[in-house]
Structure 1
Amino acid sequence: MTQHTWFITGVNSGFGRALTEQLLTRGDRVAGTVRNLDTVKDLGNKYGDRFWVETLDLTHTADIRPVVDKAFADLGTVDVVVNNAGYGLFGAAEELTDEQVEHAIDTNLLGSIQVIRAALPHLRAQNGGRIIQISTFGGQAALPGGSMYHATKWGVEGFADAVGLEVAPFGIGVTIVEPGGARTEFRSGSAQLGPAIEAYAASPAFHARTMIETGGTPAIGDPVKIAAAIIASADQRPAPKRIVLGSDSFTMISSALTARLADVQAQKDSASATDYPVGE
């Protein structure tokens, strides 16, 4: 077991809290961000200067780089940067308000992008490090009622994939984590719904609304085990490009990729028909 210094967004709940507790327990240092310092006061009291914390709302884009810079300056080095903070916005696309759409993009997509961009100069300067982007099976598969959540997760996965190729020569690894449903506060606490439109009660999108409003069946994912798997990945060399966690995630991603590949393969001849003839 190698001890590291971690920078993790959203350490007050969910995977962020589970990661932080496990890391501090084993002796690592954690620089965490939260919107409300009172939510992690217990961690500061228990672990002292091994737990560095700063307030950060990812929708306040101008605040991201100063917080990341301060973490590296105060701690000297950060080995692993974890983009964890985010939430789910659900409902049919038409049901979502403009304000909800913009807030979700600012938090889940733009916020994550800017955290990575802010960390890269420091990771390059220290000749390496690891970036872990928390996504979901919804970063590769899509379900009705999750259009905006999928938009942010598919977007951040594309960004992370490209960045991973760009920074590999500097010894920086990038890993995307794709968990399935887990027993965190995601559904009952952070998830949001757009204002209902009656017509969509007969739409497949209504299932997502029902799941959030009722809680649905208990998720099968254990957040403690998921956090442990994420932590273990930091010592893997080379960095895994993706980590799929949860049998539900494996099933959803496998089915989605199989269907998408079949669609593409069926168009081999029609795709090449739009090329210039060979030699022209």
Structure 2
Amino acid sequence: MSTWFITGCSTGLGRAFAEAVLARGHRAVVTARDASSVQDLVDAHPETALAAALDVTDDWQVAAAVAAAEERFGGVDVLVNNAGYGYRAAVEEGEDDAVQRLFDTQLFGSVRLIKAVLPGMRARRSGTIVNLSSIGARQSPAGSGYYAAVKAAIEALTLSLRREVAPLGITAMAVEPGGFRTDFAGRSLTQSAEPIADYADTAGKRRIEAGTGHGQQPGDPAKAAEVLIEAVESSDPPFMLLLGDDASDAFRTALDDLRADADAWEERSRSTGFDE
């Protein structure tokens, strides 16, 4: 039995992760901005679930939630940084305050939790940190530049973290889901308030009012949760866990495109050293 600390459990993948972890008999600290939205999970698993109100941008709430987990269960074995939301805008359209909130929630919110749980993990010489990214970090679609940027930053941070903590018996993992049938493209999706007409044929095609795919995403959150648990419990957990056919296909397409770009310019790239 291990203790999982999962952010953003009110809906979507976070809730699916929490349900699967608890169904397997593990302990789980289930968090949401409004703790009442996850109380049903505690009611169903009163001995193994703890609800905590958590705004990941609030230093005090982060410290309090992790302290509650340690007091109730003795420590956090697996941290899942899942809390987040989407933001769509052309780069020029992005509002400064909205972009700052996006990064504070998804990147720096994850960092706050990582820093809060690592002392205990280091003391026990064990633990797993899971950071939710997105296939958007690989695709970088027009209209999702800021969202792709924050997820790419999370992946880079995770890889450095993995290398830092591996000698301490701790692992770190990034997860790139594709489209899953959650609220992500519904109530969890935000966008810039003022579109610029010149971007109508690029970023404009991804605006909420142009979307038609909400509720029709191919991914099953319950199946994603089972694969995540399998990866965490593996003797050789991956750095990058792809979830979904669309994520797997898009990941490989993006790698092929990058490789072709590097190949086309390889000779010139290698010509920049001092002549000996």
Identity %: 36
Give the letter for the 2:7 counterpart.
T
Q: Give 1:10-89 correspondences, 5 Å limit.
A: 10-89=8-87
1:89/1:192 contact within 8 Å kept = yes
Q: How far is 1:107 from its partner? A: 0.6
- After TM superposition, the score normalised by the length of structure 1 is 0.92
How far apart in 1 are the matches of 2:274 and 2:118?
41
Task: For residue 273 of structure 1, give the secondary structure of its aligned residue in structure 2.
Answer: helix
Task: For residue 186 of structure 2, give the secondary structure of its aligned residue in structure 1.
Answer: helix
2:53/2:61 contact within 8 Å kept = no
User: Is residue 2:97 matched to residue 1:133?
Assistant: no
Any idea what the Cα deviations from partners look like across 1:119-159, whole Å, max 9, x if unmatched? 11111111111111111111222101101110110000000
Aligned pair count reads 276
Task: Tell me which moved more, 25-34 or 206-215.
Answer: 206-215
Any idea what the Cα deviations from partners look like across 1:65-107, whole Å, max 9, x if unmatched? 3432332233113221111111111121222222211110101
Give the letter for the 2:92 counterpart.
E
Distance 1:134 1:224, change over 3 A: same
How far apart in 2 are the matches of 1:194 and 1:108?
18
Look up the match of 1:98. Answer: 96
Unaligned runs of 5+ in 2: none
How far apart in 1 are the matches of 2:209 and 2:107?
24
How far apart in 2 are the matches of 1:28 and 1:186?
26
Q: Give 1:1-280 correspondences, 5 Å limit.
A: 3-200=1-198, 202-210=200-208, 213-216=211-214, 218-278=216-276
How far apart in 2 are the matches of 1:39 and 1:217?
21
How far apart in 2 are the matches of 1:275 and 1:211?
50
How far apart in 2 are the matches of 1:174 and 1:185?
26
How far apart in 1 are the matches of 2:252 and 2:265?
20
- After TM superposition, the score normalised by the length of structure 2 is 0.94
How well do the aligned residues superpose, as a CA RMSD in angstroms? 1.8
Distance 1:193 1:213, change over 3 A: farther
How far apart in 2 are the matches of 1:273 and 1:26?
56
Task: For residue 29 of structure 2, give the secondary structure of its aligned residue in structure 1.
Answer: strand
How far apart in 2 are the matches of 1:249 and 1:180?
4
Off by >3 Å, runs of 4+ in structure 1: 210-217
How far apart in 1 are the matches of 2:94 and 2:212?
19
